[in-house]
Every structure is written in C-alpha cells, then in structure tokens.
Amino acid sequence: MAAPFRIGIAGLGTVGCGVIELLKKNGNAIADRAGRPIRVVAVSARSRMKKRICPVKSYRWASDSLDMAADPKIDAVVELIGGQGGVAKRLAETTLKAGKPFVTANKALLAHHGHKLAMLAEKHGAPLMYEAAVAGGIPIIKTLREGLAANNISAVYGILNGTCNYILTAMRETGRDFHDALKEAQKLGYAEANPSFDIDGIDTAHKLNILSMLTFGIKSEFKDFRTRGITCITLQDILFAQELGYKIKLLGISRRIKNKIFQSVEPCLVPADSNIGSVEGVYNAVHVEGDFSGTELSIGRGAGGGPTASAVVADIIDLARGRKVLPFGAPAEYMKKAARAGAEDVFSRFYMRLEVVDRPGVLAGVSAIMRDHGLSIEAVTQRGRDPGKPVSIVMTTHMVKQKDMEEAADFIAAIKSVIKPPSLLRIEHF
C-alpha cells in the first residue's frame, strides 16, 4: 500500500473531533478505499488547554495554523475554524499559494470569497475541496460538479437549514409559537445561543450562493441576495397554510428565468404532499432540475458532527486517491456576473394574511387595490366575526407578477383598518 496521506486539522470543535473519530473508527476501510492510509499528523486550535471531546495529545500541535501550509510533512490542510475572514481566510490563501490541497467545511468563507479562492487554487494547481460546506451529509457538491456535469441545470432549490426546518415543523406539530419552538431547538442543540445566522436566513443564503456559483458557473455576489428568515412566521400562518393543504418551509432557490438568474432565500408555502413538503425536522433537501437528468432529490441531515465529518473525509479520500477537480466545475476565469432576475421577472401564486379591524367595507377596499394592480384572487377566508375588533383575512392568488403583488401589499398596509403589514408568502409548486 502507498505511503500515508498526511493531514493537518485547524479547528477542533464538533466537526474537527468528528473527523478524528471517523478516521480512527473506520481507518482500515478508508485506507482500502483511498488506496493508502490517512493520518492526522498535526492539529491546531485557538486554545491548546481547552477540554475537548476527542484526544489530541498524540498529534503534533501547531501553535500557528498557518505553519501547516508550509510544512512538507503535511499533504493537505483541513480548515474547520469557521468564519468568512480572519484566520480561516488567511489559512486558505496561504495553503493554496503553497500549492497544497485545502479542505474546508466553511460556507461563509466560500460564499464571500469562493471565486477568489478558486482563482488562487487554479493558479497554483492546488485542489480546493468543500463538500461539507453545503447540506452536511448530502453529497450535493459532487452531484452538481461531477454527476450532473453533462446537464444544463435550470434550477437548484431546497431546504438548506435544519434549524429553521425543525422550528417550523415543531410549530405545526405542537401548536407552539415561534419563540417556544426556538427555545426547544436551542435546548436540543439544534440552534445556537445566538441563532440569528440560522433564523434570519443568512446560513441558507451562504449555502445557496455556493450552489449558484457551482450550478450556473457565475460569479455570484452574496450581498445581492433577496434574503428573509422565519422570524416573521406566526402560528396563524402555519395553521392557515395547513388548512389550505400547504406547509411553510424556508427555501433557498436559484433558477434561470430566461437569460437571468433568480436567487432568493425566504419562507414559502409548498404542497404538504410534495417531496419537499414531506421533509421534516432537522433534515435538509436539495432538488436539482437538469435538462437530461430530470429532477434529482437528495435528503439527509444537513449539519452535526457526524454528517459534516463524513463529507470532510470524503474530500480527503478523493485527495488521497490523487483526484483533482476544478472547484466550481469550470475554470474560474470563465465565471462572470450574471444578469439578476428581480421581482418584475417572477410570476407566482401568493398567500397573504391580513389583520384588520372588522368593519364594513374593509374587504372591498382590499379587493379594489388588488384589482387596480391586475391581481387575480383565487380564494378569501375570514376567521371570526367581531365588529370593531381585530380579525384575520387570508387571500390566495392565481399566478401574478411578484412586483405587482408587493406593490399592492404596500398599498393595503396603508389602509386605516389594516392593523399591521400583510404577511406575504410565495406559493411554490415545483
């Protein structure tokens, strides 16, 4: 058998320790599949004295993780530190400039600097591997870059954040409001103490940006994303959606609309009996629509030490085998900014919930605004009858232009009897 493939790991949190545990437990099988043993020879983290879930005393400690990039006794550097800049970014740049393979699970780093790092990797002939950065244990990067390489992809979309999917599932199944469901997710370890990256949609947007670059070969700017999280979703919305035969899911969507690319992260209604509607709890799901492959669906755990470590080690095995692939499937120099589709290009059905004072003429006023914007109403539901008091009205539309719907919602919000801005969600039938 060939000489061991030697790696250095920067970052010894849940995923870093997961990689060490996986290589120990399945080392013999991994060596058979890689054609050579894989050995951890050096590790680095912020604190050497911190108590960890994995023993690291048998590995050489690198007080500065950047030293691993130049170490001739290390064949590849594995970055599991996290964060879009700082040490993680410097380690990536230093490793790639040294012509050494770089493996990362860092979605923020790639979402913000992926194209520049790909250019650097190709210039210096150094593989840049990042399977673990998107959807954890789902091999979506390899699927898009290699398995579906012969296809023209029209869309990639799905549930890319297990925390949000868990919260929305818990709200529907238990009748709890958003804040109670979030507290439970934190208690179970599915949400961080500061959950804003998850619930505000930032984590999903990071992942979708990476998928967009890979799928469409574009230089995508994270700051241009239309991003909304789930903090606006109430139990009322969950229950109304259920009555209408839908579930609410936080979706990341990237798709071609004529010669433009539409990218959004926002909660949407999906049919309850659809493939994506059936994905519950902490699970992720990614759909890919190819012209020859048709629609591919992948489901799995999107986070956690085990699934993410599995994806990291899969990349290491590829490197040990001597495999090299372009980071985004095509030369980075060919990646250009794409024309971006806006609300004026998107047609969809919509769900709109209003909180109004129950008095004569309110619904007529709302309907008149919808008519003036050329919007066709499919159905109207009012819950309760309490003159002078707040009641809920829910409308669904036929296919309408998103720009027109959003403008109408702004006018409706200005009606005196409307208590708060409308809750407006797209209805997605994929």
* Catalytic residue list: 207
Burial-class residue 235 by CB neighbours within 10 Å (0-12, 13-18, 19+): middle
The pTM assigned to this predicted structure is 0.94
pLDDT tens digits, one per residue of 249-267: 999 999 999 999 999 999 9
pLDDT (average), residues 74-94: 97
Has residue 115 got a pLDDT over 80? yes
Residue 159's φ and ψ, nearest 5 degrees, are -95, 115
Report the DSSP pairing between strands 226-227 and 283-290: unpaired
pLDDT of residue 295: 94
All domains in the chain, ordered by first residue:
5-136+309-325 (3.40.50.720), 141-302 (3.30.360.10), 347-427 (3.30.70.260)
Position 21, amino acid: E
Lowest mean pLDDT among 146-155, 216-225, 311-320: 216-225
Kindly indicate the confidence band of residue 275, based on its pLDDT and cuts at 50, 70 and 90: very high
pLDDT tens digits, one per residue of 342-358: 999 999 999 999 999 98
Burial-class residue 271 by CB neighbours within 10 Å (0-12, 13-18, 19+): middle
Give the separation between CA 105 and CA 357, rounded to whole angstroms. Answer: 50
pLDDT tens digits, one per residue of 192-244: 889 999 999 999 999 999 999 999 999 987 777 889 999 999 999 999 999 99
Kindly list the distances between the CA atom of residue 145 and the CA atoms of 130, 140, 206, 301, in Å, as whole numbers in the listed order: 11, 8, 18, 20
pLDDT of residue 36: 97
Instruction: Select from 396, 421, 401, 395 the least CA-distant residue to 409.
Output: 421
Kindly indicate the confidence band of residue 63, based on its pLDDT and cuts at 50, 70 and 90: very high
